[in-house]
Structure 1
Amino acid sequence: MSDAANTASAALAHTLTPVELFLQADAIVRTVIILLILASAWGWAVIAEKLVRLAVLHRRAAKLVDSVQHSLPVSTVAESFAEAPASDPLAQVYKAMVEEYDRSREFVQSEGQRDSLQERVHRVAQLASSSALDHLQSRLPGLATIGAVAPFVGLFGTVWGIMNSFQGIAASNNTSLAVVAPGIAEALFATALGLVAAIPAVIFYNRISTDISAYGKRLTAFTGVFEVELSRQLAKRGDRNGLRAA
């Protein structure tokens, strides 16, 4: 290869760097690239926050459940739960059930009222669990949107870039690689960025959704354990006080 050809190849390689492609792109393609970079950055921020938070919640949940596995207090909040952060969903559900029991236990004078108390505690637990899971799922729809839309946004940039390349060919009447390569590279760069934004969003959306679902099952199981212990303690109380049938 001649020195002139080597020089041309080196110049072309320099021109095709991502920064140069961005700087040489027209306003539409440049806007697409910026949007995709921002979407990717936002998606990674959400992914990191959710993964770290869920890992902490699962680890803390295992410790909290182990701390009360022998007998679960239903009239007062266990010390381990009282020390947990107020934002912890498991602690929120547990405290909500304890508070409902504490507000209602004085009205239990019959078996029917006892059943009514258990039903109210169950509903309170469901509401607290639903609220906690909704909070954990916040911003996940954004990841789903990035995963679904980003490839098409990148494809739009690709189509626009290729259209510009053909216009350049028509204007210069020259079909050499040196003329068409920059525009095509800009177009393909937009597609690549769309995939870079979309693929992690889809993968981690599924991963995070699975982790949240697993945590939801843990909340449901814990609620069941509390309700069993509540039923046991109410039955003992009824035997001592001779609760009448409703």
Structure 2
Amino acid sequence: MDTATLAQASDIDFSLVALFLRATFTVKLVMILLIVASFWSWAIIVQKHLVFRRARAQAAAFDATFWSGEPLDALYSRVGPNPAGGPERIFAAGMAEWQRSHRSDGAMIPGAAQRIDRSMDVAIDREARVLNSNLTFLASVGSASPFVGLFGTVWGIKTAFEEIALAQSTNLAVVAPGIAEALLATGLGLLAAIPATIFYNKLTDDSDTIASGYEQFADEFGTLLSRNLDS
């Protein structure tokens, strides 16, 4: 390679901003889409981390309160009509059905245990939906971003070959900018996909663990109420 070509290539700005500005409209659109998807993914990751940490703290605090020996009716009155956390909402759902199952003479309406379990199952399902909300977006970003970036790369390389044909030259100064711009799209696709995939798996596992704790509490609470019914 002659010194003139090397000097011409060294004058090309290969910074990320310059590569973006030189890209075609289609490739720019792909890059912007991937950058937005990446920022949105990180916002979901941080938000879910805070939500899950709060859910664990609420579960631990309520579990300690529940097994402290305080009467259930008193605890239900203290929880009030607006429970603060998932375990409290599940407990309130069970207790509400428990109280509705009492007849005016103090006897229990038949089938109370099944209705209480269903009420708590509905509450658990509602809490699980809240925990899993927006996780599908992370899964979509993790699976689709590499292909979106690859589309930008293919389009950029196509444009680079067109420029080579128009310039009728294959020297480094003609080839390098277009190829670099095209590869930047793939890099952004991977930059968005890798964290989204990793944290989707982690957050899904955390969500399942928290929901499993809710189900365990509901089973223990249901057993306690069933024992009271039998007695």
Q: Which amino acid aligns with 1:69?
A: W
Contact 2:58 2:87 in 1 (8 A): no
Q: Which amino acid aligns with 2:176?
A: A
Q: Are 1:190 and 2:205 matched, yes or no?
A: no
- In structure 1, how many angstroms separate the alpha carbons of the residues matched to 2:144 and 2:70? 48
**Per-residue deviation, 1:4:** 7.2
Q: Which residue is equivalent to 1:89?
A: 86
Number of matched pairs? 229
Q: Which residue is equivalent to 1:165?
A: 160
Q: String of CA shifts for 1:175-206, please: whole Å, max 9, x gaps.
A: 11111111101110000000011111111111
- In structure 2, how many angstroms separate the alpha carbons of the residues matched to 1:19 and 1:225? 58
Q: Which residue is equivalent to 1:25?
A: 23
Q: Which residue is equivalent to 2:213?
A: 218
**Equivalent of residue 231 in structure 1, options 203, 226, 231:** 226
Runs of 4 or more, structure 1, over 3 Å off, are 2-10, 70-83, 107-110
Q: String of CA shifts for 1:137-165, please: whole Å, max 9, x gaps.
A: 11111111111111000000000111111
Contact 2:19 2:180 in 1 (8 A): yes
* Contiguous gaps of at least 5 residues in structure 2: none
Q: Are 1:147 and 2:142 matched, yes or no?
A: yes
Q: Which residue is equivalent to 1:240?
A: none
- In structure 1, how many angstroms separate the alpha carbons of the residues matched to 2:228 and 2:19? 71
Q: String of CA shifts for 1:214-243, please: whole Å, max 9, x gaps.
A: 01110011111211221222233xxxxxxx
Q: Which residue is equivalent to 1:35?
A: 33
Contact 1:75 1:102 in 2 (8 A): no
Question: Please, what TM-score do these two structures have when normalized by structure 1?
Answer: 0.85
Q: String of CA shifts for 1:60-115, please: whole Å, max 9, x gaps.
A: 211110122144644343477459x74522111111111111111226637xx45x
Q: Percent identity?
A: 37
Q: Are 1:201 and 2:199 matched, yes or no?
A: no
Question: Please, what TM-score do these two structures have when normalized by structure 2?
Answer: 0.90
**Equivalent of residue 100 in structure 2, options 99, 103, 109:** 103
Q: Which residue is equivalent to 1:127?
A: 122
- In structure 1, how many angstroms separate the alpha carbons of the residues matched to 2:71 and 2:121? 19
- In structure 2, how many angstroms separate the alpha carbons of the residues matched to 1:81 and 1:181? 66
Q: Which amino acid aligns with 2:75?
A: V
* Contiguous gaps of at least 5 residues in structure 1: 237-246
Contact 1:75 1:101 in 2 (8 A): no
